[in-house]
Amino acid sequence: MSDSYFPRWRTQPGAAHRVVATDERLPWPQMLAMGVQHVVAMFGATVLAPLLMGFDPNLCIFMSGIGTLIFFVIVGGRVPSYLGSSFAFIGLVIAVTGYSGHGPNPNIPLALGGIVACGVVYAVIGLIVSVVGTKWIETLMPPVVTGAIVAVIGLNLAPIAVKGVSGSSFDSWMALVTVLCVGGVAVFARGMLQRLLILVGLIIAYVIYAVVTNGLGMGKPIDFAVVANAAWFGMPHFAAPVFDAHAITLLAPIAVILVAENLGHIKAVSAMTGQNLDRYIGRAFIGDGLATVVSGFAGGTGVTTYAENIGVMAVTKIYSTLVFVVAAVIALVLGFSPKFGAVIQTIPGPVLGGVSIVVFGLIAVTGARIWVVNKVDFSDNRNLIVAAVTLVLGAGDFSLKLGNFGLGGIGTATFGAIILYALLRRKPAQQAAV
């Protein structure tokens, strides 16, 4: 790479069948196509997360583009990443706002203050990492800890997904149909269609729901009038944060989870590209933290690097960081379309709930995958106890209060895993004696 702040991206005109490095690019028509593909890849999750918390999905898509551009500038265009809505916030945002699970969330400003605080903590961690390196993070959060934390996010959200589809027998059956649609795409589709299993499965389930309700008169029909009445272009609906001490104490610790996610992302990208990106980890944390702060001040969700986009890079072998600038600009354009947002709002609750069941389950399994990939030794009692206790604390939504400071299930599980692992650390002599 060059010595300049940003790479000097070399054009690879005949690069259709070869690896495109982070400091290279395809011709612009192909770059545009790749940018669209990355937007589609993150679309399902970046739309789903805001809907589950009652945020405006249009605004969150817009802020995902802004956040990606902030990240790109902070890391100097060296780390290929797209920043979208983080699922780590869902459980605690619902707890803070008392969100019912349907329609706009009237208490979003409370959550926004906590999201901004989380971004500040995250950026401060990035500054520390930039000065002293990542060794301390890797010591505090080895694979057994990060795997348990990621798994807990999915398990903690499981009751929310199930409760959301338990309103009637029809809702429950349609949720199961949605699960089958997503599962069918995951197993029987091929290529990029398979990579977009959430989005494609949701669309199929949406069509089935429309046929059964609007066509056959069963269940609550989809109201398409809201789409017809929406304008093609318009400003996103911004919201300002309210800084509440309780919300801040609940949401700020999520920064630890975002650190674990981002660290894993950069390690995965380093492995795929064959380039050691460790020197950019501090800047990546700062970029993600600042993007979360900006998103919170505008009315959007907290953001994080996306595994979906890692999947696209793994399939295409195209790691050009400029692709993510293109994707971010496309997201900004979508954010200015109220009609696009109206279409999203017509997604039926049972379909959204069925997709949630799959997504939350995949998050839980991703944590287990971290254990498998890193060959975590569960014959070591320390690993066994840390994982076991963390899973139950998170799945059982174990809450803990110390004066005015309170932690929900994900928070107690996260800090419990880190502290428990440190407390159970043995000295080298003790390890040798075992």
Percentage above 90 pLDDT, the chain: 18
Whether residue 3 is contained in a domain is answered as no
CA dist 400 and 428 (Å) reads 33
Does residue 434 register a pLDDT over 60? no
Whether residue 391 is contained in a domain is answered as yes
Q: Which of 62-71, 274-283, 361-370, 411-420 has the lowest mean pLDDT?
A: 361-370
> What pLDDT is recorded for position 115?
94
Domains held by the chain: number: 1
Residue 59 sits in which domain range?
20-433
Whether residue 5 is contained in a domain is answered as no
Whether residue 217 is contained in a domain is answered as yes
> How sure is the predictor about 406, in pLDDT bands with cuts at 50, 70 and 90?
low
> What pLDDT is recorded for position 404?
57
Whether residue 14 is contained in a domain is answered as no
Give 284-315 pLDDT, tens digit per residue.
999 999 999 999 999 999 998 876 677 667 66
Whether residue 156 is contained in a domain is answered as yes
| pLDDT top residue among 229 and 404 | 229
Whether residue 175 is contained in a domain is answered as yes
For the whole model, what pTM was predicted?
0.74
Give 11-52 pLDDT, tens digit per residue.
776 544 577 777 888 788 878 877 876 776 676 667 778 888
Whether residue 428 is contained in a domain is answered as yes
